[in-house]
Amino acid sequence: MALYPKHIDAFDSYSQTGGYTTTSGTVATSTTQYFTPDNSLKISNYSGVKFDFDDGSVTDPTDEWAYEFKVYFESSTSTNDFFVQFVPTGNRISQLNFDHADGKIRYATAASTFYDVADFSSGEWITIRVEGTISGDTQDIYVNGTLESNDVDLREYVTGGLDCAISFNTGAGNPNVYIDHFYLYTDISTGTETVSGVIQNAGSYAAYTVRSYRRSDGMLVDETTSSGVDGTYTLSLIGNSTEEHFLIAIKDADEIDVIDRVVGD
Amino acid sequence: MATIAEYITEEGSAVARTVFAFKHSDGVLAGSVTSDAGTGEASITVATTDKHYIVALDDESGSNYNAVCKADITPT
């Protein structure tokens, strides 16, 4: 089943599409640190921010979900954790804690039950991607593109948790934290722009990996495999029918075709 | 950290263009830069030495060209 973008935000001055809600403290876009190309979202000491879906709806995924973000810590001087919570269904939570005391990323299965994922350091951008399913109540956790925790448990529901939303929170005394290139996906396709096409190689239909990217900032939007029977593919795009994208089709390791300036159907 | 260094030209001349680098395995954006107008050099710092591909986009002025992609790049 495909995953569709429900909220994508690079916090950039020209491509802001999502928006966010400050739940506590001080949260603002910043040019102090950023991935690419210009801004990030700065979460100051003892602050919190949450993201809902772009359309404001609270619609549970049917099964699959994923979120991804880049995070940068100014220092590691705090003894309190920076933590992220995603609530896909209302009865399970994907929770990641970044422990400044020992430089460990951990996932939680209960209030005080944590398991190591990987080490992290301040002063550099870290890419986190988490993919999960409701049917399995499990998740896969990637750090900088490497699968570090495979098929591990989610956390039991927390009373007052945010339904179908994700939150980022710094503790008291935390250093400034910056997040960038935030993605939230579910398997609900309603309201998503798409583009379709056919892949052929030397006159024969081909099953290639096909990806869509937003042209303004290079953000990966969707990926699929074209049909080996008729070559067809459908990819999600972002925003409205004027937002330009480019598509790539991977023939093999050293041959990739690209189509530029694609907009939604 | 590792670096990708490529040169961007248009009709044989160095140009300043937006260049994105993506990790081949998952397609996620690894970095971006504007190539140097004088030399065409696009030097992008990425997190790993895994295989990457780059995409260079045409700008808004002059003749219109499709984007170009170079694959099978190992950062050094």
Amino acid A78: pLDDT = 75
CA A247, A214, A43, A175 dihedral sign is positive
Is domain B2-73 in CATH 2.60.40, yes or no? yes
- Report the b/e string of A113-149 with b at 16+ CB within 10 A: ebeebbebebeebbbbbbbbbbeeebbbbbbbeeebb
- Among B20, B48, B68, the residue with its CB nearest the CB of A218 is B20
How far is residue A123's CA from residue A65's CA, in Å, rounded to a whole number?
29
Taking one residue from A and the other from B, the number of pairs with CB-CB distance under 8 angstroms is 72
How, if at all, do strands A104-110 and B52-56 pair?
A: unpaired
Amino acid B73: pLDDT = 96
How far is residue A261's CA from residue A215's CA, in Å, rounded to a whole number?
7
Q: A264 or A149, which is more confident?
A: A149
Interface touch A258/B69, C-beta < 8 Å: yes
Give the distance, in angstroms, between the CA of residue A224 and the centroid of all CA atoms in the same chain: 17
Q: A159: distance to nearest CA of chain B, Å?
A: 34
- Report the b/e string of A229-249 with b at 16+ CB within 10 A: eebebbbbbbbeeebbbbbbb
Mean pLDDT of chain B: 92
Mean pLDDT of chain A: 83
When pLDDT is averaged across residues B2-19 and rounded to a whole number, the result is 94
Which residues from A are below 8 Å from B53, CB to CB?
Answer: 248, 256
Three-class HEC string of A28-51: EEECCCCCCCCCEEEECCCCEEEE
Report the chain A residue with the minimal C-alpha distance to residue B50.
Answer: A145
Query: Does residue A205 sit in helix, strand or coil?
Result: strand
Q: A188 or A87, which is more confident?
A: A87
When pLDDT is averaged across residues B31-43 and rounded to a whole number, the result is 94
Q: A85 or A240, which is more confident?
A: A85
Interface touch B72/A223, C-beta < 8 Å: no
How far is residue A191's CA from residue A239's CA, in Å, rounded to a whole number?
9
- Which range of A252-256, B11-15, B47-51 scores highest in mean pLDDT? It is B11-15
Amino acid A114: pLDDT = 96
Amino acid A58: pLDDT = 43
Interface touch B71/A144, C-beta < 8 Å: no
Query: Is A41 a residue whose pLDDT tops 60?
Result: yes
- Among A129, A219, A223, the residue with its CB nearest the CB of B29 is A219
Beta bridge partners of B55: B20, B69
Task: Please check whether residue B50 touches A, CB under 8 A.
Answer: yes
Amino acid B55: pLDDT = 97
Residues 1-40 of chain B whose Cβ lies under 8 A from any Cβ of chain A: 20, 22-29, 31-32
Say if CB A144 and CB A126 are below 8 A apart: yes
Interface touch B55/A218, C-beta < 8 Å: yes
Q: How many CA atoms lie within 13 A of A245 on its CB side?
A: 26
When pLDDT is averaged across residues A220-247 and rounded to a whole number, the result is 85
Say if CB A140 and CB A64 are below 8 A apart: no
Domains of chain A and any CATH numbers: 4-186 (2.60.120.200), 193-262 (2.60.40)
- Among A127, A218, A260, the residue with its CB nearest the CB of B32 is A218
Locate the domains of chain B by residue range.
Answer: 2-73
Six-digit token pair at B75?
């950062």
Query: Is A160 a residue whose pLDDT tops 80?
Result: no
Q: A37: distance to nearest CA of chain B, Å?
A: 7
Interface touch A256/B69, C-beta < 8 Å: yes
How far is residue A62's CA from residue A65's CA, in Å, rounded to a whole number?
9
Interface touch A144/B26, C-beta < 8 Å: no
pTM, two decimals, is 0.66
